[in-house]
Structures are given as structure tokens and as C-alpha cells.
Amino acid sequence: MRDDHLITAKQLSREDVDAILDRAAEIDADPAAFADRHADAILGLLFFEPSTRTKMSFETAIKRLGGDAVDMGTVESSSVKKGESLADTARVIEGYADALVLRHPSQGAAKMVGEFVDVPLLNAGDGAGHHPTQTLLDLYTIRENAGLDDLTIGIMGDLKYGRTVHSLAHALTNFDADQHFISPESLKLPRSVRYDLHETGANVREHTELEEILPALDVLYVTRIQRERFPDENEYQAIAGEYGIDLETLEPAKDDLTVMHPLPRVDEIAPEVDDTDYATYFEQAHNGVPVRMALLDQMLEDRQ
Amino acid sequence: MRDDHLITAKQLSREDVDAILDRAAEIDADPAAFADRHADAILGLLFFEPSTRTKMSFETAIKRLGGDAVDMGTVESSSVKKGESLADTARVIEGYADALVLRHPSQGAAKMVGEFVDVPLLNAGDGAGHHPTQTLLDLYTIRENAGLDDLTIGIMGDLKYGRTVHSLAHALTNFDADQHFISPESLKLPRSVRYDLHETGANVREHTELEEILPALDVLYVTRIQRERFPDENEYQAIAGEYGIDLETLEPAKDDLTVMHPLPRVDEIAPEVDDTDYATYFEQAHNGVPVRMALLDQMLEDRQ
Amino acid sequence: MRDDHLITAKQLSREDVDAILDRAAEIDADPAAFADRHADAILGLLFFEPSTRTKMSFETAIKRLGGDAVDMGTVESSSVKKGESLADTARVIEGYADALVLRHPSQGAAKMVGEFVDVPLLNAGDGAGHHPTQTLLDLYTIRENAGLDDLTIGIMGDLKYGRTVHSLAHALTNFDADQHFISPESLKLPRSVRYDLHETGANVREHTELEEILPALDVLYVTRIQRERFPDENEYQAIAGEYGIDLETLEPAKDDLTVMHPLPRVDEIAPEVDDTDYATYFEQAHNGVPVRMALLDQMLEDRQ
């Protein structure tokens, strides 16, 4: 397997992460300097699941580097319907592109495809598995707003199923961060993830109430609690209400608290928060572009 | 709200319209002069409803200016399915693009989104609301074929529900045009639109028979009568037949009559008309490109 | 009708084919020399059926020539749903593009559309009809791997319904090729195709067993046997098994046998064949790009 595939954030050292985030900051400071970097590059998009943010920001990223994308389209409009295997689809499309981006509902899909293709592959989410570019844009947003060292971060909501959260928590162990996990008992971090974090020596604590820790936080990362996890609608409503935030909830927070969310949100953050300086979730989504530009730029540069 | 959003044709003065149509004519005369105007521009496409003409001509327009588009895709393949609000979707996508185009089934959607986004927004149709770029390409087609001054125009078909018609009729009040509206009683102009037109002092008359006025017309603008408006199929057939045209119908017309239609047509214009000099509806559709190029060129220039 | 429409491979002489394949070879040897050839060209994509390979490779081809594509999208997201005729849709879209590519489920669709449009049209498959660019990329793959002269080729699988096969067989009659057709009785070449081939004086033989002829072959072209052709699942399984290949089947073959398949495959070629030198089907799919670039380059050059 090529060693420039990006399958999981775990494969990135602190130095790798710093290099990517530094380049993203360079791009943010002077995007015009990168506008013709990869004029002949074509990025192949294989999205086997709906996606707005990730797909559009990859497409924007390659176009802002002067290149272009070719898109497999939805599964319904592709050969997948005729029974083609994922490996075959990827091996065909790699012939059209200089790099591939894959989103797939099955955990492990990116690693498997990585064994077959000869162009660099970027994992854009494989089910309950990994989504490394989300982690990188989260780190970039934290670095730009609160700094990655001497950081106190709270991560709240669905900590059991959220792959975003597990990946971010692991990546933060490379930095000097105190991590606080806030959730109902039923949505706590899985034992394996907690064990993994403790192994690295990370400073990790769990809470059931946001107010216990809110005043100490530099960053509050809120995640979506998925209605479909709850057999009972009332239970969902109660928990969603308790782990959502509004202006009142945020009163005890530091003035310079950074509130993040991977989006889409449903009711976890009240719209009234949007107009405050806390709100960093749209900036976070927009950071997908410079971060993915940085990654693509590095990847396409390396293979020349 | 930014004052360079284009939400409704009503916000455009006669001078604004002239400037856009003049620029479209320049583009038509020498498209190569515009081919690299906006090489780094990206247009974000948010189409919450099916569209061929409008979406493809916007996409063609930005590409013919040297730029590119990123497309949200269908609602089914996007985050909208996860319950994201329209305002949130737009605020995410504005981070990828230099301008946005929105088509949405709900009247007022463009105005609402315009309150939230910080890049210029073009309304590409919001339900029964506005569709200003359609009006501009209609005006351009009339200007190029019959002239906008000393004009006698007939507008025929579904005048009750057709937003295209209401918007065009209003825009024509800026010019020296006699407007004749031809429809069955059941599909007459709504009272509010008729009132609006009379207020401007426009010369407006209504007819139930095309033959009453056809010989005087410079332009005949035909619109689609939608089958789904009629509970009874026979009634639809009768009316569709009476308000459709063919070579025989057109016999009393001036030789240089311009026949327009916003397309898609179903049975309103017989295919035998396509090969005559009357037929201007495909040219009209094609005019979507230079007119939208002119608009985008102006909009992207202004923000530099 | 324009004489530069490409509706069927039958309209191409041996000289035409050689010119296209020569240009494709030039492109393969030095793609950078073609990277800015058609910077202002826009290709209109009209795909009325799902397609991965054909659509993506056309899109890649125009982009690798420096141009761009505009895509009608799926039928569900287009005006077709509003009852627009195919001819009208094509006549609208030709106004946006410098050339059109059409895939449609109805035999004869490309020829019909060709009568209406004034820009060059490429048929990308019309039902049981023609798919000339598939034939060209097949010929290119054969030429690059085994040569088109003094060729012994076996074509196996569904020879009754496979338009790919009929078109390739006909095209090969321009060259010095012995053609062997291998299939169960129920899926033999249609009488009309066999008659057509004999008319040209081509050297054609039919077999029911691959082993009768395998050792003599330079190329083995395998096609998909479609499950839906068989009322009985067991019969399908038996036939699919007998007309599929694996390493054991291929033992009597020449060392330099070229195995081709138009893809997608289901079970006709065992994955263990993929890692051998026989396997040429992914290369064949990738050849869609230089061949379509060569065609587009020629077509766009001619109209300047």
C-alpha cells in the first residue's frame, strides 16, 4: 500500500499535523499564491453516501488550487447498481484521476481500497471508522482560535457513536490538552476509546453536567445527538434539551470561549448563539477548504 | 443585507437593466474577450428543486468567464436530509464560493437567505415568488428581436400562476410597451398583479381570444398551461388546445413576429413552428448564458 | 445532419480509425502537450441512463484538454420530468456547449437528436443501438497490446444482446483479424449480425467451448452475462460458471494473451486473474480517456 494514502488521523505524527496546519495557514493568508499550483490535477470523488460539506469542500479545494474534479455521482446513477465491487469501481476511476477521495458507509472501506489503487487515496469517512480530514480541520480551528497548547477543551453530546469525537480526542493527545467529556451515561465514550486515551497519558475527565466544567473551558465542542439512537422520543427530547446550549447556558463561560460543532446541527446550539463571538462552527466548516488544499497540495507535490 | 443580492427584478431600475443587457450584448459580440475575466471565481449552486435550463446556464456562464462552480447536488444527496436548516446550509456553502445561486420551492426563501450570507446571492426562482434572471433574459431576447421601445407584446396562457409572466409584465412597465394578456377566464392575471400594473400607468389590456390582437403583436410570449391545475382532464385538453399555437394560428401575424416561451413546452407550440423565423424560444433559452455572464461579471467585478 | 456527428462506429473508415488511434497514442505519450488545447471548450453531457465509466471518462477527457463540462444531471433532477421532449432538451443544451455527448436508453436516439442539433454530437450509447467510443477504446487497447493485424481474437459471453460485441466485431472487419465467438447456444450472435460479418468477407467462427480455441488466441474479450436474461436462476448460474474464467481456465493460453472486458464485471473473471499479465481490462477502461481526448480534440479542431 502507498504510504501517502491518508486513511486515519492516527497515522499522522505531531510533526505531520503541524506541517499540514502551517500550510493551511499560509493558504489562508495568501490564497492567490496557490491559485495555479496544480492546474493539470484531477481529483476523483467517490461518495457512496450523501455529503454536502466534505464533498463540496474537497471540490472547492482542488479548484482553488487550479485543478478540477470528476465525480462518480450518486450510487443510484453509477455502475455500482450493476453489481460492481468497490475495488473494481476504484480501480477504474483511478485511471481518470491524480488522487482519489472516498466516502463509504462501511468501516474499513478506505483501507481496503487503499490496497488496490496506485494513486493517493484520501479517506473522507468510512462509516463508524475514520474521517481524518475532519480531525485536521478541527485541529486547525482550535489552533487558530484557542491554540493547541495549554488547552482545556470540553467535548459534549454523543460520545458513544461519534467518530469525529474519537478521532479528535486521539489527535489531541499529541498536544498539551486537558480533555473533558460531557454526556449522559447512555452516550459515554466507549470503554475502548477511554482506554486508548489513558494509555497515551492524556489528561482526560468525564462529566454528566456541562456546568461542572464550563467556566474552565477554552473550547466547547458540541456534537449532534442522533434521534435515531433513542427508541423513545421523550427520552431523546429530554437528553437533547439537556445537552444543547443557548445564551443562558453559556453565561458562566469565559469571554473568549470557542464553540465548535461539526455540523449539521439540529437543536444542539440555539440560533441566538450564532451572532456571538463564541460561534466558530461556520468558520470551522469553512476551514475545510484551506486544510484540504494544504493536504492536496502536499500530496500532489510529493508525487511529482 | 448586502445591496448587491439579486432577489427580485423589481429592485432593478431601467438603468440597471440597460447596463446588464448592454453588457450581455458585448459578451455576445465577443465572448473571447470575457473568457478569462474571473479565473479564480467559484460560484456555489444551491438547487433545492429540479432545474435544467437555469442551473446549466449559470454553470456555463461562470465557466465561460473562466471560473468554476461547486454544486450542492440534489437534496437527497445532501445534509438537508439530516434536518439542517436552509440558513445553515447557505452559511456553510458561502465559505466555499464567491457568490451563490439559490433555487428553492418556498416563496421568500431567497430574501431570507440573503439576510444570512455575506457573499452576493442570486435568486434563481423561489416558488411562486421571483426569478429575476429569467426576466432579464426575456427582456434581452425582446430587445434583440423586436426592441423594447414602441413594443406591442401579447402574453398568453397561464397568467394566474406563472411567476415568469408577472415578473416580465412588471419589468416591461419601465419601457414603452403595450401589454396584452390572453387567457381563459379561469387563468386570468391575479387582481393584485393587474392592480400593480395599472398603478404604474402601463398600457395593459386583457383578452380571451388570441385572434383579437394577434395581427398587432411584435412579440407573442406563450406559457405552459399546467395539467395539474385542472381537476378535469377534458377541461385541460380544451383549454390547452385553444391557447396553443401552430402554423395555422399564426397566419394573421406580422411577418416579423417573435414567438417566445420560457420552456419546457409541452403542447403549447406545435413543432412545425420550430423551423419558422417566428420561433425564438431556443434562442431565448440560449440567451440565459450571456445575460447570466453579464450579471456575474458585474457582481464579481463590484466586489473586488 | 452535420457530418461530424459520431453516431455509430460503422461510419468510420479504417483511415478514420487509424487517425483517431494515432492521436490517442500521441496523447498517451505526452499528455502535457494537450493540456491547454481547448481551454475555452465546454462539453454538454446528456446522460438519460446511469453510467460511471463513459460519463466520467468523457468528463476527464475534456478537462485534460483544458476545457470543461456541463452536466444535465440525472433525469429526476431535470426538466425531462416536466414532459419535455428529447429533441427540445438537446436543442436547449446545445446553446450552452461546443459539443454534446448523449447516452439514452432508446435505440436510434442519437441519430434522431443529430437531426436537430447544430453542434457536434457524440453517441455514448443508445440502448441496443451503438456505442462507438467503446469500440474505439477497444480497438486502441487491442492495438497497443496485440496489434490489429494478424490478430486472432475470441469474444465470449453474451453475444446475443451485447451491443459492445456487435460493434467491435464489425469494426474488426476493417483489419486482418480472425474472429472466434464463444457462447452457449442461447446467447449466440443474432443471425443478422452473423450475416453482416460474413458479407464483409471476415474470417468468423463460432464455438460453444472456450477450450476449443483458447490456445490460438491473442486476445480474449469477455462480456457480462446478464442475470436478468434468464428466467431460471440455476440456468444462469450454470452458464455464468461455464463462460467465466480463472487461472485454471487460462492455463492453456499463450503467455502473452490479452484479456479484456468492457466492465463492470460480476463473476465472469475471477479476481485472481487481476494480478496476472493477462489482465488488461482496467487498462482498457483507462484508455477511454486518451481515446475520447483524441476524438474531442479532432472534433473541436475541425470546427474552428
Which residues of chain C neighbour A79 with C-beta distances below 8 Å?
Answer: 50-53, 263-264
Q: A264 — contact with chain B (CB < 8 Å)?
A: yes
Separation CA C110–CA C90 (nearest Å): 10
C23, C103, C180, C292: the catalytic one is: C103
Instruction: Enumerate the domain spans of chain B.
Output: 9-130+288-302, 133-285
Q: C68 — contact with chain B (CB < 8 Å)?
A: yes
Q: A73 — contact with chain C (CB < 8 Å)?
A: yes
> Which among B224, B177, B227, B223 has a CA at the least distance from the CA of B201?
B177
B24: cell is 450581455
Domain B9-130+288-302: CATH architecture, name and number where available: 3-Layer(aba) Sandwich (3.40)
Measured in degrees and rounded to the nearest 5, phi and psi for residue B250 equal -85, -5
Separation CA B6–CA B302 (nearest Å): 13
Was B134 annotated as part of a binding site? yes
The pLDDT value given to residue A83 = 78
Per-residue pLDDT of chain B (304 residues; tens, 9 = 90+): 677 899 999 999 999 999 999 999 999 999 999 999 999 999 999 999 988 899 999 999 999 999 999 999 888 766 666 778 999 999 999 999 999 999 999 999 999 999 999 999 999 999 888 899 999 999 999 999 999 989 999 999 999 988 889 999 999 999 999 999 999 998 999 999 999 999 999 999 999 999 999 999 999 999 988 887 788 888 888 888 889 999 999 999 999 999 999 999 988 999 999 999 999 999 999 999 999 999 999 999 976 5
Was C74 annotated as part of a binding site? no
Catalytic residues of A: 53-54, 82, 103, 131
Tell if the CB–CB gap between B55 and C74 is shorter than 8 Å.
Answer: no
Tell if the CB–CB gap between A92 and C286 is shorter than 8 Å.
Answer: yes
C54, C133, C135, C173: the catalytic one is: C54
Q: A72 — contact with chain C (CB < 8 Å)?
A: yes
Q: B135 — contact with chain C (CB < 8 Å)?
A: no
Tell if the CB–CB gap between A60 and B82 is shorter than 8 Å.
Answer: no
Was B163 annotated as part of a binding site? yes
> Which among B302, B300, B12, B268 has a CA at the least distance from the CA of B140?
B12
CATH code for the domain defined by C133-285 = 3.40.50.1370
CB atoms under 10 Å from CB of A241, counted, come to: 11
Separation CA B53–CA B264 (nearest Å): 9
Was B263 annotated as part of a binding site? yes
Single-letter code of the amino acid located at C133: T
Q: Would the pLDDT of A91 be above 70?
A: yes
Q: Residue B241 belongs to what H/E stretch?
A: helix B233-242
pLDDT digits (tens, 9 = 90+) for C18-27: 999 999 999 9
Higher pLDDT, A176 or B237: A176
Measured in degrees and rounded to the nearest 5, phi and psi for residue C267 equal -120, 10
Question: Within 13 Å, how many C-alpha atoms sit on residue A248's CB side?
Answer: 3
The distance of C104 to chain B (nearest Cα, Å) reads 17
Was C166 annotated as part of a binding site? no
Sign of the alpha-carbon torsion through C130, C134, C137, C142: negative
The pLDDT value given to residue B184 = 93
Radius of gyration of the CA atoms of chain A, in A: 19
Q: Identify whether A105 is preceded by a cis peptide bond (ω within 30 of 0).
A: no
In this complex, the chains that touch A, judged by 3 or more CB pairs closer than 8 A, are B, C
Separation CA A218–CA A231 (nearest Å): 35
Separation CA B130–CA B132 (nearest Å): 6
Q: A55 — contact with chain B (CB < 8 Å)?
A: yes
State the residue for C-alpha cell 412597465: B173
SS3 C82: helix
The distance of A8 to chain B (nearest Cα, Å) reads 23
Q: Shortest CB distance from A282 goes to which of B44, B73, B91? A: B91
C54 labelled catalytic: yes
Which residues of chain B neighbour C91 with C-beta distances below 8 Å?
Answer: 282
Give, as one character, the DSSP assignment of residue B188: P
The pLDDT value given to residue B81 = 65
Q: Shortest CB distance from A282 goes to which of B44, B81, B92? A: B92
Q: How confident is the model at residue C236 (pLDDT cuts 50, 70, 90)?
A: confident
Separation CA C37–CA C19 (nearest Å): 18
Tell if the CB–CB gap between B55 and C73 is shorter than 8 Å.
Answer: yes
> Which among A121, A127, A124, A151 has a CA at the least distance from the CA of A139?
A151
> Which among A38, A96, A28, A54 has a CA at the least distance from the CA of A285?
A54
Was B54 annotated as part of a binding site? yes
The distance of A302 to chain C (nearest Cα, Å) reads 18
What's the mean pLDDT in A20-46? 97
Was C54 annotated as part of a binding site? yes
A140: cell is 486547525
CB atoms under 10 Å from CB of A128, counted, come to: 13
B50: cell is 429540479
Chain C residue with Cα closest to A85: C266
Higher pLDDT, C194 or A161: C194
End-to-end CA distance of chain B: 18
Do the domains B9-130+288-302 and B133-285 sit in the same CATH topology, yes or no?
A: yes
The pLDDT value given to residue A78 = 67
Q: How confident is the model at residue C28 (pLDDT cuts 50, 70, 90)?
A: very high
Separation CA B73–CA C241 (nearest Å): 40
The pLDDT value given to residue A74 = 83
Q: Shortest CB distance from B63 goes to which of C42, C80, C89? A: C42
Q: C52 — contact with chain A (CB < 8 Å)?
A: yes
Q: Which of B36, B47, B52 is most worth mutating to test chain C (most C CB atoms within 10 A of its CB)?
A: B52
The pLDDT value given to residue C230 = 80
Yes or no: domain A9-130+288-299 corresponds to CATH 3.40.462.40: no
Q: Would the pLDDT of C304 be above 60?
A: no
C37, C53, C111, C207: the catalytic one is: C53
The pLDDT value given to residue C229 = 76
pLDDT digits (tens, 9 = 90+) for C45-104: 999 998 889 999 999 999 999 999 999 988 876 666 677 899 999 999 999 999 999 999
- The rounded mean pLDDT for chain A is 93
Which residues of chain B neighbour A64 with C-beta distances below 8 Å?
Answer: 40, 42
SS3 A269: strand
C81 labelled catalytic: no
The pLDDT value given to residue B79 = 63
SS3 C70: strand
Do the beta carbons of residue A76 and residue C266 sit within 8 Å? no
State the residue for C-alpha cell 435568486: B123
Q: Shortest CB distance from B88 goes to which of A264, A288, A289? A: A264
The distance of B237 to chain A (nearest Cα, Å) reads 35
In this complex, the chains that touch C, judged by 3 or more CB pairs closer than 8 A, are A, B
Which residues of chain A neighbour B68 with C-beta distances below 8 Å?
Answer: 63, 68
pLDDT digits (tens, 9 = 90+) for A230-265: 888 888 888 888 899 999 999 999 999 999 999 999
Which residues of chain C neighbour A39 with C-beta distances below 8 Å?
Answer: 35
Which residues of chain A neighbour C285 with C-beta distances below 8 Å?
Answer: 92, 95
Q: Residue A260 belongs to what H/E stretch?
A: strand A258-260
Was C103 annotated as part of a binding site? yes
Which residues of chain C neighbour A78 with C-beta distances below 8 Å?
Answer: 50-52
Separation CA A137–CA A135 (nearest Å): 6
3-state helix, strand, coil in chain A (%, to 5): 45, 15, 40
The distance of B287 to chain A (nearest Cα, Å) reads 27
Q: Would the pLDDT of A18 be above 90?
A: yes
